[in-house]
Structure 1
Amino acid sequence: MKFTLSEEQRDFAQALRDALKRSASWETLLALGVHEVESAPDLVVAFLELGRAAVPGPIVESFAVLREPRSTLAWPPHVPYVVDNADQVYAIVDDTKHRASIVEERTSVDPSRRLFTYDIGETVGPIDAEAFERGVLACSAQLVGLGRALIDRSRDYALQRSQFGKPIGSFQAVKHQLADAHVALELAEPLVFGAAVTMSRQDVSAARIAAGKAAYQAMRTALQVHGAIGYTAEFELSRWLLKVRALVTAWGTESWHRERLMATLCG
């Protein structure tokens, strides 16, 4: 299925991309109204760009799930720790929102995605029925955006880096790896938009599976193309690599989403 963005959506995506190139900050997101996005397709448009820019912080939890810019949450078992700290911290248990207090910071694969243990406090009330699906959907879009950024950067590096007197991008093995990763992302993105239209459990899980696999393939390809320098924490590429590593198991692992998808189809 082919999805065509409206002129307004294209303008929103371009405005986000341009602004985030200058500053991938919380203030930038608020100024562009990311916290006011209502529809699921618009949410996907936004999170594709947030992933492309590797925006730090609890963006899924704040902007997609809670829709409160200065809030964050934990939602065990799929989001077992509070992601970052904020003015308001919540824990979701049995689809009920509770206030929570930060206890201790834990080690995170992604330094820009801080994790904390927490204590549960008073009950606030039920969380809306689509909140979890919005979290999964936003994470899926973010993964596709991260994957696209990794492939774009790898392509540029392959055209600049020379070996045996030629750019490594001219070697067929490198071309094939980049092309395969690009195709995987091209196949995943329509599934994410399709899930945004239906917001059904099976479509959201299918999109999450495809997005996670495509982003992971892009990450592996980026490491192959960049070679040893891609493994260094000081190299800028690590911003995208580590974020993919952290998010491929966030908001439900691939195996959990496969089980949910099968249960939905066969139930």
Structure 2
Amino acid sequence: MAKIFCIANQKGGVGKTTTTVNLAAGLAKIGQRVLLVDLDPQGNATMGSGVDKRALQQTIYDVLLGQAGVRDAAVLSEPGGYQVLGANRELAGAEVELVELEQRERRLKNALAEVGGEYDFVLIDCPPSLSLLTLNGLCAAHGVIVPMQCEYFALEGLTDLVNTIKQVHANLNPDLQIIGLLRVMFDPRITLQQQVSEQLKEHFGDKVFDTVIPRNVRLAEAPSYGLPGVVFDANAKGSQAFVEFAQEMVGRIKRM
């Protein structure tokens, strides 16, 4: 059965989508069967996977409202080698429509249950706000991967996220846990980043992934070409780090 992970952080601009897309591509590169679920109405993970969100016949919106199954709506990211359950602006309206539906927080969980045996990993790119969409992601997931920059304000955002995860764990999804914290956009020349990195390791121990994703221009350029960074420039330090992270994830899952 697939291991389902949310990539979440309630602070915006921390590289959630970059992490989701490149982890998906990295996992596919090492032979894993991957489904990327884009739960953000902006559809950035969809576009970053080389899928035109405007041309999609069916999206995660249709799946959440019960108008399509995951098999019907998922499309192949040809450059990335993984499946994408895409999103576009339609998804913004799902918030209102979900309110009146039964099991509104578990719509995604129920849909993914039908295809659990067809994938090794399902990665869910969550919007930064705590909304019904994010709740659907957290209810469907076995765990949360938290990308974060090693900066002071990132620690405050992390506290909020940990509290949210505790509430969802207590009330909606007893399987939910933090799988690990991923340090992203890391620049070892900045003393503060080194200090925050050490604080994270002291507080969270082995919950902090060994892999560190460096600040990397090639990763930032890749989305404008509709490509995961891992594919856009496989030799870039950031791309190589994401492949290492994919290998670390596979190893960690085997130990769980």
Give the TM-score, by structure 1 length: 0.27
Question: Which structure: larger Rg?
Answer: 1
TM-score for both structures, normalised by structure 2: 0.28
Greater RCO, 1 or 2 (C-alpha within 8 Å, sep 6+): 2
